Amino acid sequence: MLDGFIRVAAASPKVKVGDVDFNIEQTVSLARKAAAKDTAVIVFPELGITGYTCGDLFCQKALLDKAKLGLFDLAEQTGDLNTVIIVGLPYELGGKLYNVAAVIHQGDIVGIVPKQNIPNYSEFYEMRHFTPFYEDGIIMTEDDICFGRAVFNCDDLSFAVEICEDLWVPSSPSVEYVRNGAQVIFNLSCSDEIIGKAKFRRDLVKMQSAKLMAAYVYCDAGLGESTQDLVFAGHNIIAENGKILSESKRFANDNEDDAVIYADIDLERLDADRRRSNTFISDISGADGIDIIEFDAEFADITPERKISKTPFVPESKDDLASRCEDILNMQAAGLYTRLKAINCKKAVIGLSGGLDSTLALIVTIHAFDKLGLDRKGIIGITMPGFGTTARTKNNSINIAEEYGCTLREISISDAVIQHFKDIGHDIDVHDITYENSQARERTQILMDIANQEGGLVIGTGDLSELALGWATYNGDHMSMYGVNCSIPKTLVRYLVSYESQRTETSNPTLSKALADIVATPVSPELLPPTEDGKISQKTEETVGPYELHDFFLYYMIRFGFTPSKIYRMALIAFEGSYDADTIYKWEETFMRRFFAQQFKRSCVPDGPKVGTVSLSPRGDWRMPSDASRNVWLDDLKTVKE
DSSP string, 230-246: --B----EEEETTEEEE
User: Is there a catalytic annotation at residue 46?
Assistant: yes
CB 464 within 8 A of CB 304: no
Which candidate in 164, 219, 345, 486 is catalytic? 164
115 included as an active-site residue: yes
User: Is the pLDDT confidence value at 450 over 60?
Assistant: yes
**Structure confidence at residue 288 as a pLDDT band (50, 70, 90):** low
Rounded mean pLDDT, 351-373 = 96
Q: Please name the amino acid found at residue 251.
A: F
Burial of 427 (0-12, 13-18, 19+ CB in 10 A): exposed
The gap from C-alpha 377 to its chain's centroid, in whole angstroms, comes to 41
The average confidence (pLDDT) of the chain is 93
Q: Which of 6, 638, 43, 613 is nearest to 268 (CA)?
A: 6
Pairing relation of β-strands 237-240 and 215-220? antiparallel
CB 85 within 8 A of CB 74: yes
CB burial class (10 A; 0-12, 13-18, 19+) of residue 331?
middle
One-character DSSP codes across 510-544 = HHHHHHHHHHHSPP----SPPPTTS-----HHHHT
Q: Give tens-digit pLDDT for 196-233.
A: 889 999 999 999 999 999 999 999 998 888 787 878 88
Residue 46 contacts residue 305 (beta carbons within 8 Å): no
**Could you give the CA distance from residue 147 to residue 520 in angstroms, rounded to a whole number?**
64
Through-space distance between the first and last CA atoms of the chain, rounded to whole angstroms: 18
pLDDT in tens, 607-624: 999 999 999 999 988 999
Check the CA dihedral 68-71-73-76 and report its sign.
negative
491 pLDDT above the threshold of 90:
yes
Nearest to 177 by CA among 292, 97, 89, 77: 292
> What is the distance between the alpha carbons of residues 491 and 476, in angstroms, rounded to a whole number?
23
For residues 559 and 536, give the distance between their C-alpha atoms in angstroms, rounded to a whole number: 34
Mean pLDDT along residues 167-189: 94
Pairing between β-strand 84-93 and β-strand 96-105 as defined by DSSP bridges: antiparallel
CATH topology of domain 5-293: Nitrilase/N-carbamoyl-D-aminoacid amidohydrolase (3.60.110)
pLDDT band at 136 (very low <50, low <70, confident <90, very high): confident
Neighbour-count burial for 535-557, b at 16+ CB within 10 Å, e otherwise: ebebebbeebbbbbbbbbbbbbb
Contacts of 144 (CB under 8 A, 6+ apart): none
| Single-letter residue type at 472 | A
Q: Average of pLDDT values for 232-240?
A: 92
Considering 14, 46, 126, 347, which one is annotated as catalytic? 46
Q: Which residues contact 187 (CB under 8 A, 6 or more apart)?
A: 43, 161, 162, 163, 164, 166, 167, 205, 216, 217, 218, 219
pLDDT-wise least confident of 5-19, 223-237, 261-275, 390-404: 223-237
Out of 131-140, 274-283, 481-490, pick the least confident: 274-283
Which of 438, 389, 394, 391 lies closest to 416, judged by CA? 438
Tell me the backbone φ, ψ of residue 620, rounded to 5 degrees: -120, -95
pLDDT at site 228? 79
Q: Exposure of 285 by Cβ count < 10 A (0-12 exposed, 13-18 middle, 19+ buried)?
A: exposed
User: Which CATH number applies to 318-542?
Assistant: 3.40.50.620
Sorting pLDDT into bands at 50, 70 and 90, what band is 525? confident
**C-alpha to C-alpha distance for 516 and 355, rounded to whole angstroms:** 11
Residue 562's pLDDT is what? 97
Alpha carbon of 35 to those of 82, 106, 448: distances in Å? 7, 11, 65
Query: Would you give the distance in Å from CA 6 to the centre of its chain?
Result: 17
The fraction of the chain above a pLDDT of 90, given in percent, is 83
**What pLDDT shows up at residue 597?**
97
pLDDT-based confidence at 124, cuts 50/70/90? Answer: confident
- 3-class DSSP state of 164: coil
d(CA 180, CA 201): 25
Say what the pLDDT of residue 255 is.
76
pLDDT at residue 286 above 60? no
Amino acid at the residue 640: V
Quote the pLDDT of residue 504: 95
DSSP bridge pairs for 90? 99
Residue 285's pLDDT is 59
User: Please, what is the Cα angle at 13 between 216 and 254, to 5 degrees?
Assistant: 115
Q: Per the residue annotation, which of 115, 206, 394, 490 is the catalytic one? A: 115
What does the pLDDT read at residue 223? 85
Here the contacts of 470-475 (C-beta below 8 Å, separation 24 or greater) are 470/594, 470/595, 470/597, 470/598, 470/601, 470/602, 471/540, 471/544, 471/594, 472/601, 473/436, 473/437, 473/440, 473/441, 473/444, 474/437, 474/600, 474/601, 475/441, 475/444
**Torsion sign, CA atoms 98, 100, 106, 110:** negative
- Give the sheet arrangement for strand 184-189, strand by strand: 243-247, 237-240, 215-220, 184-189, 157-163, 150-154, 291-294
Question: Where are the chain's structural domains?
Answer: 5-293, 318-542
- 11 three-state secondary structure: strand
Count Cα atoms within 13 angstroms, Cβ side, for 550.
Answer: 28
How far is residue 174 CA from its own chain's centroid? 22
Return the amino acid letter for 641: K
pLDDT band at 520 (very low <50, low <70, confident <90, very high): very high
CA distance 239 to 215: 6
Phi and psi angles of residue 352, each rounded to the nearest 5 degrees, phi first: -100, 115
Nearest-CA neighbor of 314 among 95, 489, 538, 86?
Answer: 489
